[in-house]
Structures are given as structure tokens and as C-alpha cells.
Amino acid sequence: MPGLQQGRLALATTRGRWYNRRGGKMLHKRVIRSLHRIVGRRNVLTTPADLLLYSYDSSTERGQPEAVVLPSSTEEVAGVVQVCGKHRVPFIPRGAGTNLSGGSVALHGGVVVHLSRMNEVLEIDLPNQRAVVQAGVVNLDLQNILARHGFQYCPDPASQKVSTIGGNVAENSGGPHCLKYGVTTNHVLALTVVLPSGEIRRFGSSVVGQPGYDLVGLFTGSEGTFGIATEMTLRIVPLPEGTQTVLAIFDELDAAGQAVSRIIAAGMLPAALEIMDRATIEAVEASFPTGLPTDVEALLLVEVDGLREGLDRQAQECAEICRGVNARQVEIGRTQEERDRLWHARRSALGAAARLNPGMLVNDATVPRTRIPEVLRRMREIERKHDIRIAKVYHAGDGNLHSNILFDPTSPGERERAESATADIFRLAAEVGGTITGEHGVGTEKIKYMSLIYSQADIEAQRALQRVFDPEGLANPGKVLPAAEATR
Amino acid sequence: MPGLQQGRLALATTRGRWYNRRGGKMLHKRVIRSLHRIVGRRNVLTTPADLLLYSYDSSTERGQPEAVVLPSSTEEVAGVVQVCGKHRVPFIPRGAGTNLSGGSVALHGGVVVHLSRMNEVLEIDLPNQRAVVQAGVVNLDLQNILARHGFQYCPDPASQKVSTIGGNVAENSGGPHCLKYGVTTNHVLALTVVLPSGEIRRFGSSVVGQPGYDLVGLFTGSEGTFGIATEMTLRIVPLPEGTQTVLAIFDELDAAGQAVSRIIAAGMLPAALEIMDRATIEAVEASFPTGLPTDVEALLLVEVDGLREGLDRQAQECAEICRGVNARQVEIGRTQEERDRLWHARRSALGAAARLNPGMLVNDATVPRTRIPEVLRRMREIERKHDIRIAKVYHAGDGNLHSNILFDPTSPGERERAESATADIFRLAAEVGGTITGEHGVGTEKIKYMSLIYSQADIEAQRALQRVFDPEGLANPGKVLPAAEATR
């Protein structure tokens, strides 16, 4: 049933300006034939089984595309986008589909542009410290190539084993080490972009400084609503000489939060400051046992990196601070093997929580670091109020609180309670001067919370910017901003 | 002569869309009376002497405003902008006027909004590592306040003794230490902005992560063409535990460039890597003698900072590298006093060059680091071709080459030769994959070179973005982008 959307029909009919203008099967076949001509018949997927596979990402959002194309070059992407424009069909860029906020879901049908075949590292330029990659390059694949040369690309989202640089750029991804090194936008120098008009453009520069307005910054984090970035020029830096990891476990969640505050107050800037709560530790131990005691309330990971000298002192200082707020146990990992062991629980956290619980809503509200103790307290109230369990994993240094709200979708009313708890968390974050996303994007899931952060006028200004590039509203529609109709 | 522009009449008549719609003295008096009501009579300057004072910045551009207002609050700025909108009068935000590309010059007349009275540091929040300041706060004043708490705001433009945070944000300023720490845009979390409509808006967030499009990034570096930023929330960080400075002098400019390449190739990320050439050293020694030999071809400053441990090794390694490429002399400064002495020549460079030469064109073309030797060689050809002297001061780590082109404006044809040399330098930078500005902005001076970097379509896209915020073209008109008329 081409032209019809799965799952979100109500939304589609109120939002889908393009929809009413489109024809039925005939038009659809013409579109498909045009796509065949551009990327080749076997790179256009249209069977129900294929379309079902592409009807979701890692969020709970669903929406089935009418076709999936697998282009192999920027020119092919441009051709596909031109066809979509001609027929007023939405296009949805997609990388590995690890999006946690619904950004890669075909909410209004249309053509998913899956960039997985564009996975070449085009250039590694060590003296100028930059790498040029295609959008479909997997983050960790790039890291592994760079590591052989003693370099790294700093952003390290938890999904880095599968998520792509294109997706990281679209979502402005963070990661544990972004506390010290900054999120994706701080590491993107230039982009090759296919605009919704089908034009190919180059934004930014591979050197510092670019005259005019910061279009690279504007595109980064715009979740495909400004077009499709197909190539990225990234800043790369030498790997630190050394790294040490401190793991501490606590009988009180607040104590872990205090340790974070004191480490920051001591003037240190660790590469990572991560907290996991008891619910997460229990999930990890049940799924991928690491030998952690499950009767503790919090685990804190601190990573320090830099020159060899000074690392010991920094790690010891962090360990002392943890002991000073009554850590039950503190370990320091110095070798890669020791460090991997200490990180194991953290790296397994999301998977373990998802594995043990049939339903899970993930959110990444971010709050000022100093408000964390209050937020943790009030989050316990939210858990009680909605009779729901929240497994917490925090990029604590950044105040970025990943609350994984666990529920059983077969139990009546439980999903609704989970959604009410999510809303309460976002309201709480906004109230204390925080925001509704640290690194997962707005996608479709958080659109209804945008009004917690933005006035109507703010949203209209953003829409006006988006419409400069996408006057027809075909670039990943239904993402980031509330529908124009809904906000009028 | 209200309504008429000084100096740039030809430009004004081709570019000044607003101009033909405006009335004469009567309108002007009504505008002035409205401004009196908003900021008070004594905060509106209209005498010829005052207007002359405000007819220039630190570039060679000139343009006289019709009035200067000195608001003391965001609300007053909004009121002023509303009056300008009502009467279709351009408004030009201004800080300390240290702009090197003409960005604060009233090219089309109008009202200069001088933010010097808005110079309060509103909040220093150490635990959350942020500072909230008004636009008129002088960069160094903020640094001095922060230093008392052991903190710093990283961007340190050479003008920091006088330039304001508002101006730094408008120009996305760099500075010697931005090699390691990144330029202004990496340190701005949120902005309070008066839009050309007169509305007051808040962009960004004081925490990491902001849903929607990056308006803070878009405003930073937009040179007042999107509105007037009146308050900034800045990221601040602890001061490094220690700093050491290495000064090396060379008999060959290329050798200094090689030292830079080798330091980077060794995997080090110094806080600063600065080169001065012989012409600059001579100017410094003639004006503010530091005891440097004037028969050397280059001076290289390397600064390393971070934890106490490891600094000695890093500084020694840099010194060794310099000796390895035949530095005539190498010194390491460890105390503040020693370091100040080593930095003295660099800090005096621009002033010395300006003092000795009646005319000077400053530019900051930026090139890929690896192309520096070639660029230096070809720059000597440019000097010969135009029979002109260029005093060079480089943020060499970033490839940001400040070429101070010296000329005598009373000597026939010399200014023209200086301008031709500037054009050649920009063409050279663009040819080797660089750009026409590293940190000084486009202003008015570089508009004619934008086509070296951007296609017509790129420029139109940027203009369309700007027009979203400024449909009437009253926000600092004539800056950043070529006039619409000229590009059609």
C-alpha cells in the first residue's frame, strides 16, 4: 500500500502536507523506476519484508517507508533526492538505525536513503590532523584505522560499534569521552551535503576559520531535516600517551554524585565520569556477569588521560575522593586489559537493560551538574508516583542523565505510566535549567516536549531556517520540530 | 548630513536598499527623539566630533553613523532596534572597535549601538563551569576575575586587553591559545539576543546538549548581521596547573615552519605555536626593544600547558626539535616573569608594525598546516611582484597567517599595490585549500574575496538564512555577504 504510512496515520494526516498531493500506485511505480535508473534495480528495496525491516530504529517509534535505496555515491544520493523532489516524496537518511529518538523512522512513508554502502574512509591526513570519510563509515571502524597511526576521532557514542559517522553528525552524538573532548559538532570541519533541491554543496573548510555563517554547525545535529550529508571532514588528534580508569562502588547513589562534584571542584577534567545505578548493575549482572556486587547503589567510572606523567597522581586523587565519600571499593585500571574489565559493565548497560525488559523508554535529559543530587532525589519520587522502575546511566560530568524507563508492554497501563514518567523527567530537567536531550536528538519522540524549552516564536524561527533549505518539507519530515499545523 | 554616508558612497548607492526609502532631516530628528526616550538624552551621541570618533574601527574601512547610542540593558537595546526598524535605519553593534575587517564600521550610516556600558559580569558559576557576562565586558577583565578563582575563559585574541566578549562572539575570535582550546564558538553555551525585529530571545542552553538547530553557533561569527547579542553564557575551565614557554630564533623562516611540523608530528598539542618574521622582529625592536637580534629571520614561540608533571619533558622536546632544525638560540621560560619576557615581542607585534608604518593592511588568510612552507615561499614572490613589505605573524599551529602589509598611503600607488598583494594572498590561500579568514571575520574588507571560497549559490543560501532574521536588511548591512544587488 504505497502512499500509506504504518503506525502513525493520525500524525500523517495532520502533518503530511505532501501526502494529499500525491497519487496512488501509478506514481509510486514511476518513482521506483526512476530510482532504479539512478542506483540500479538491486539497490532499491520494495518487498514488504524489506520495508518492515526498515520501519524502525532503536527507539520505540515505527513508520514504514515505501522504498529503501542504497546509493553508492554523493551523485546517486543527489539523483535520489531529485526524484523525491519531483514527485514530492519524503526522503529519510539512515545510517545504522541506532537512533534512540526516532530520527531515522519513515514517519510519513517515503524513501529511506540508506548510506551503508558509502562506507569508505577517503583520506587520512595526519600532518593536518583530519580525516575525510563517507557517511556510512562505522565510528569504531574509523577509530581502529586511526589507532594504527596513533590517532583518534574523539566522539565515542555508546553505539560506536555499529553507528555511522553520518548518523553521529546528524544527531550531534556525544559519548563518555565527550566531557573532556566535546561532542560531534566540535570535531566536524566540513561537510559535503545533498540539499533537498538535489544540489550538491560543500560547507565548511578543512582549515580553522571559515568566512560567513557556520553552516556546518547548523547541519550538524539537524537530523537530516536540512538534507543529507554524504561526506565529512573530521578533526582527528593524537591518542593520549596514557589512560587510567578508576572504578568505585557506593552504597548510596548520592555519594557517587558527590564524588563527581569533588573531582570537578578539584580542578580535574577527566576524559569520562560515568555513573550507573543499582537497577542497571543488576541488569548487567543478570545478563553479562562481571562479578560486581548487586547490593550496591552506584558505580562510578572515572577516566583520566594525557601525558604519561601525572596520570598516577590524578587517578590516585580521584580514588582518594571516592574513598572520602565512603566508596565501598575502589579499583584503578592501568593496563588496557584492566581498563576493559572496569568498562565492561558500563558498556553492557544499555544492552543488558534492554535484554531483561520487554519494554524500555530511553531518554537523555541533561541538567546542570550541581542540580544532579536534587534531580536524583526527585527522580525517585517520579518512580514511586508512576510505580515504574528507572535504570539510570549517567554521563555525570556533563549532567547528561540517561534514564532507561523499564516497562512491560503487555501489562495494561504500564506503557502509559512509562510515558508519563518520561514527561515528568523532561519537565523536571527543564525546571532546573536543563534540557530534553544531551546527545540523542529530538527525532519524533521528543517533539512534544520542545515546548518545555522553546517558545512558539523560537520554534517558528527554527522552522523558517529549515524551510530555507527544504521549502517543500520533504527532508525527513516530522522530525525535530512540531508540525507547522500543530503550532499555528 | 544625516542620511548620507561617508567614504563609501558608491557602495551605499548600489547596496543601500534602505537608503532610497528614507527621508531627510525631519525623519532623522524623530529617530533621535525616540532614541532619547529609550536610553536617555546623554546616551545618544550626535555631534560631528562624536560621529567622527565612531566612523572607524581598527581596519582601514570608514563610514560615519548618524547617531551613536549607549544602552545599559538588553531591553534598551531592544527598544533602539525597534526604533531603527520602524524608521528603516540600519543599526551597527559595536564593542571596543578593535575589529580588523570593518565589521563595526557604519558603512551605510545608521545607528551605532555601542555596548560599552553593558559591562557587567553577571554570574560566575564555578561548579557548573560557566560565566554569564554582558556583551561589553572586556575579555581580559573577565580573565582577571576568573584567574582569582583559578579559572579561565579560553579564547585570548591579541586584542584581549580592550576587545569585548560581545565583539569576540560576533567575530568568532581566535587567539594564540585557540590551537589547543578552540576558537570562541567552542566556548559559547547560550546567548541573549535582540533580533532585528526588536524581540529579545534566548538561544542555547547552559548545559551540554540543546534540542533543535544550533542557533548559538549560527549567531557566533555572524558579525551582527543576525541581531545584537547582549548576554553570553560562556564555558570556563580551570587554569592549567603549569605552563612553560619555549622561544627559538632562526636564520631561516622555513626552519621555524619545519619546527612547527615536527612538533605536531611528535604528537604534541601545544597551547600555542606562534611565528614572527624578520620584518616584525625589526618593527618590535625599533618600537619596544626586547633585546632580540634583528638579523634573524624568524622567532618561534611554543607554549605547553597542563599538569605539572610532563611539562619539563614537553618543553625540552620542543627545544630539541628547534635545535634539530638549526635554531640559533633556544630559551625556556618557566616562571610567569620569564614567560612574560618571551611573549613580550609577540604581544607587541601588531602595535609595533602599525606604529612604524603609516599604512598597514592586516589579513588572516588560513592555509593547511602542511602547505605553510610553500605558502611562505610564494608570499615572498608576492612581496617582490608588488614591491611591498609584509610583516608576518602566524598562529602557525592553525595555519593562520597574519600578513601585515606595510605601505605609505602618501606614496602614489602604494596603497593600490598593498591591496593587490592582499588579493594575491587570498587567492593563494584559496588555491592551496585554505580560506580568507581565520579569526578576523569578513566584515566589509573581505566581501570581495568571498567568491574565492563560495559559489553564487552558497552565498545566496547564506543570504536566505540571514534574511530569516533580518528581512529588512537593517542588521549591520554591507557586512559578511556581497550586496544582493551585486550578486544577482
Q: ipTM, 2 decimals?
A: 0.90
- A206 vs B241, B368, B449: nearest CB: B368
Determine the distance in angstroms separating the CA of B389 from the nearest CA of chain A, rounded to an integer. Answer: 25
CB contact under 8 A, B211 and A446: yes
> Per-residue confidence at B27, pLDDT binned at 50, 70, 90?
low
Which letter does DSSP use for residue B191 in this model? E
How confident is the model over A140-153, as a mean pLDDT?
Answer: 97
Q: Does A400 touch chain B (CB under 8 A)?
A: yes
pLDDT at A487 over 90: no
Write the CB contacts of B94 (distance below 8 Å, at least 6 apart in sequence). Answer: B54, B57, B104, B112, B113, B114, B115, B167
Q: Does B174 touch chain A (CB under 8 A)?
A: yes
Mutate to test the interface with A, among B208, B241, B268, B455 (most CBs of A within 10 A): B208
pLDDT value of position B365: 93
What are the E-state strand segments in B170-280? Answer: 188-194, 200-204, 228-235, 237-238, 242-250, 272-277
Residues of chain B with Cβ-Cβ distance to A238 below 8 Å are 267-269
Residues of chain A with Cβ-Cβ distance to B465 below 8 Å are 213, 215, 218, 465, 468
Residue A440's nearest CA partner among A57, A138, A149, A141 is A57
pLDDT value of position A291: 86
Share of chain B above pLDDT 90, in %: 78
Cβ neighbours of A47 (radius 10 Å): 9
Q: Does A197 touch chain B (CB under 8 A)?
A: no
| B201: closest chain A residue by CA | A458
pLDDT value of position B485: 54
Residue written as grid cell 546511566 = A393
Which SS3 state, helix, strand or coil, does residue B434 take? coil
Residue A28 near residue A2, CB atoms below 8 Å: yes
Grid cell digits, residue A122: 577517503
Grid cell digits, residue A295: 547490593
Q: Which residues in chain B (34-53) have CB-CB distances under 8 A to chain A?
A: none
pLDDT value of position B302: 97
Q: Does B265 touch chain A (CB under 8 A)?
A: yes
Distance CA A91, CA A31 (A): 12
Distance CA A263, CA A410 (A): 43
pLDDT value of position B11: 31
| Phi, psi (degrees; rounded to nearest 5) at B192 | -100, 125
Residue A441 near residue A221, CB atoms below 8 Å: yes
Size of interface A-B (CB pairs under 8 A): 233
> Average pLDDT over chain A, rounded to whole?
90
CB contact under 8 A, B433 and A206: yes
Q: Is A251 exposed, middle or buried (0-12, 13-18, 19+ CB in 10 A)?
A: middle
Residues of chain A with Cβ-Cβ distance to B169 below 8 Å are none
**How far, in Å, are A49, A365, A382 from residue A426 at the CA level?**
36, 6, 11
Residue A215's nearest CA partner among B166, B92, B463, B433 is B463
Residues of chain B with Cβ-Cβ distance to A364 below 8 Å are 209
pLDDT at B9 over 70: no
How confident is the model over B77-96, as a mean pLDDT?
Answer: 96
pTM of the model: 0.92
Write the CB contacts of A321 (distance below 8 Å, at least 6 apart in sequence). Answer: A259, A262, A263, A266
Q: Taking the C-alpha atoms of A63, A66, A70 and A75 in order, what is their torsion angle to the nearest 10 degrees? A: -110
Q: Does B461 touch chain A (CB under 8 A)?
A: yes
Residue B367 near residue B427, CB atoms below 8 Å: no
Mutate to test the interface with B, among A191, A193, A213 (most CBs of B within 10 A): A213
Distance CA B240, CA B261 (A): 24
pLDDT digits (tens, 9 = 90+) for B414-431: 999 999 999 999 999 999
pLDDT at A28 over 90: no
CB contact under 8 A, A480 and B199: no
Grid cell digits, residue A369: 551538574
Q: Which residues in chain B (286-345) have CB-CB distances under 8 A to chain A?
A: 306-310, 313-314
Determine the distance in angstroms separating the CA of A90 from the nearest CA of chain B, rounded to an integer. Answer: 20
> Per-residue confidence at A230, pLDDT binned at 50, 70, 90?
very high
Say what angle helices A311-324 and A253-265 make with each other, to 10 degrees.
140
Residue B172 near residue B185, CB atoms below 8 Å: yes
pLDDT value of position A3: 36
Write the CB contacts of B41 (distance below 8 Å, at least 6 apart in sequence). Answer: none
CB contact under 8 A, B309 and A306: no
pLDDT at B16 over 90: no
Distance CA A397, CA A372 (A): 10
Determine the distance in angstroms separating the CA of B193 from the nearest CA of chain A, rounded to an integer. Answer: 12
CB contact under 8 A, A450 and B261: no
pLDDT value of position A122: 98
Which letter does DSSP use for residue B426 in this model? H
Grid cell digits, residue B79: 527598544
Determine the distance in angstroms separating the CA of B140 from the nearest CA of chain A, rounded to an integer. Answer: 21
pLDDT digits (tens, 9 = 90+) for B130-174: 999 999 999 999 999 999 999 999 999 989 999 999 999 999 999
Share of chain A above pLDDT 90, in %: 78
Q: Is A202 exposed, middle or buried (0-12, 13-18, 19+ CB in 10 A)?
A: middle
CB contact under 8 A, B313 and A307: yes
How confident is the model over B460-483, as a mean pLDDT?
Answer: 94
Q: Which amino acid is at A12?
A: A
Residues of chain A with Cβ-Cβ distance to B212 below 8 Å are 442, 450, 453-454, 459, 462, 480-481
Distance CA A463, CA A478 (A): 12
Residues of chain B with Cβ-Cβ distance to A464 below 8 Å are 468
Grid cell digits, residue A147: 589507532
Residues of chain B with Cβ-Cβ distance to A174 below 8 Å are 208-209
pLDDT value of position A2: 37
pLDDT at B72 over 50: yes
Determine the distance in angstroms separating the CA of B149 from the nearest CA of chain A, rounded to an integer. Answer: 11
pLDDT at B486 over 50: no
| Phi, psi (degrees; rounded to nearest 5) at A400 | -95, 105
> Average pLDDT over chain B, rounded to whole?
90
pLDDT value of position B25: 44
Q: Which amino acid is at B282?
A: E
pLDDT value of position A345: 87
Residue A276 near residue A298, CB atoms below 8 Å: yes
CB contact under 8 A, B218 and A221: no
DSSP annotation string for B364-410: EEE--GGGHHHHHHHHHHHHHHHT-EEEEEEEGGGTEEEEEEEE-TT
> Per-residue confidence at B294, pLDDT binned at 50, 70, 90?
confident
Q: Does B167 touch chain A (CB under 8 A)?
A: no
